[in-house]
Amino acid sequence: MLDVARCKILHSKHDDKIDSYVLSESSLFISDNRLIIKTCGSTRLLATLPVIIRLASDYANLDQVQSVYYSRKNFLRPDLQHPLYKSFDAEVAYLDQFFEDGHAYCLGSLKQDRWYLYTMHRQPKKTKMASRNPDHTLEILMNDLDSDILPVFTKDVCEDGRECFEKSGITHLIPNSAIVHDEMFDPCGYSMNAFMPDTDQYATIHVTPESQFSFASFETNIDANCLYKQTKKVVNCFRPGKLLMTVFANENSVKGKDAQQQLWECELPGYKRTNVQFVRLEVKIRLRQFFRVSIEIFRRKPWSMLISSEETQLILTKTTAKEANRKES
């Protein structure tokens, strides 16, 4: 599967609930009911789709995909992408070959940063319809990171991932009980996966520290913390010039809905909101009982991503108050 995507496994951690892989081009998580793959660079993520479906059938006797989420931010240079990724319309046409009942969305102004999302939900053939567990996912894309933190993500300052994890302050973003494995790239760059023992709750961080296009991403479905407070901690760690945030939550996720409400009503300290959208996706399946494939795509400048949850989505794009004041003056 990863050969098709043109990336490889660097190292992994496992327990009975989840398998976590740090890749040469981002991350892969596999649990009983979910597969999340994030790729970047010159990888070919969508090419993995037929392979994933075949492997699920051959090795797990799972013959029907119940839910798919594929999403990404708009590319700065779509002309440099593989033909399939030059336009979201082309990606939708490809996905529709596998999922005839999929739906496509564009969130955000066409004149600014925007978010493309493709979803598919299919009623299972046979199942005991139990109540869905709470499920939410927080994702934050950050650009123009504070120049003081950029050197920490280079080999000049940190010898390995563990040293970078401590010196950067990322250690304060992850629960102490989480199992962590990370990678420090040469000469620069950092990737981290973490998961909570005996759950399918995870977190992942990826950092590109080059000053011309510095970028960091944070994603988690861990429910130990208030998501609004978690967002402030992440932003305080990386201090980006601008950020785009999404929160997905199903109807049973109290924390997810609380975070959406807080982010809808409140500003992040030191930042000015430039865009906010709220979308409700009507879903009638029980995600926690069935096999599903969640696909994420990252590509450098900018990275792109998918969130694996459902029913409500909130996107915030913010710029620093300092930057806003400069424009006004």
What the block records as the tokens of 41 is 């660079």
- What confidence tier does 289 reach under pLDDT thresholds 50, 70, 90? very low
Average of per-residue pLDDT values in the chain:
79
Higher pLDDT, 95 or 133: 95
* Number of structural domains the chain divides into: 1
For 36-53, the DSSP string reads EEE--TT--GGGGHHHHH
Count helices and strands (H / E) in the chain. 7, 16
Higher pLDDT, 121 or 200: 200
Rg (CA), the chain: 19
For 236-270, how does the pLDDT look when each residue is reduced to its tens digit (9 = 90+)?
999 999 888 888 777 777 777 777 777 777 778 88
Strand partners, 312: 249, 280
- What confidence tier does 317 reach under pLDDT thresholds 50, 70, 90? very low
CATH number at 133 reads 3.60.90.10
Provide the percentage of residues in the chain whose pLDDT is more than 90. Answer: 41
Report field, pTM of the whole predicted structure over 0.85: no
| CA atoms lying within 13 Å on the CB side of residue 197 | 4
How do the residues of the chain divide into helix, strand and coil, expressed in percent and rounded to 5? 25, 35, 40
Range of the domain at 298: 2-328
Provide the percentage of residues in the chain whose pLDDT is more than 70. Answer: 81
Amino acid 42: pLDDT? 67
Higher pLDDT, 82 or 9: 9
- What confidence tier does 306 reach under pLDDT thresholds 50, 70, 90? very low
Give the mean pLDDT of 124-148. 75
* CA 246/CA 223 separation, integer angstroms: 16
Amino acid 124: pLDDT? 60
- What confidence tier does 304 reach under pLDDT thresholds 50, 70, 90? very low
- Catalogue the active-site residues: 26, 40, 191, 206
For 46-86, how does the pLDDT look when each residue is reduced to its tens digit (9 = 90+)?
989 999 999 989 988 888 888 888 888 887 777 777 888 88
For 161-170, how does the pLDDT look when each residue is reduced to its tens digit (9 = 90+)?
999 999 999 9
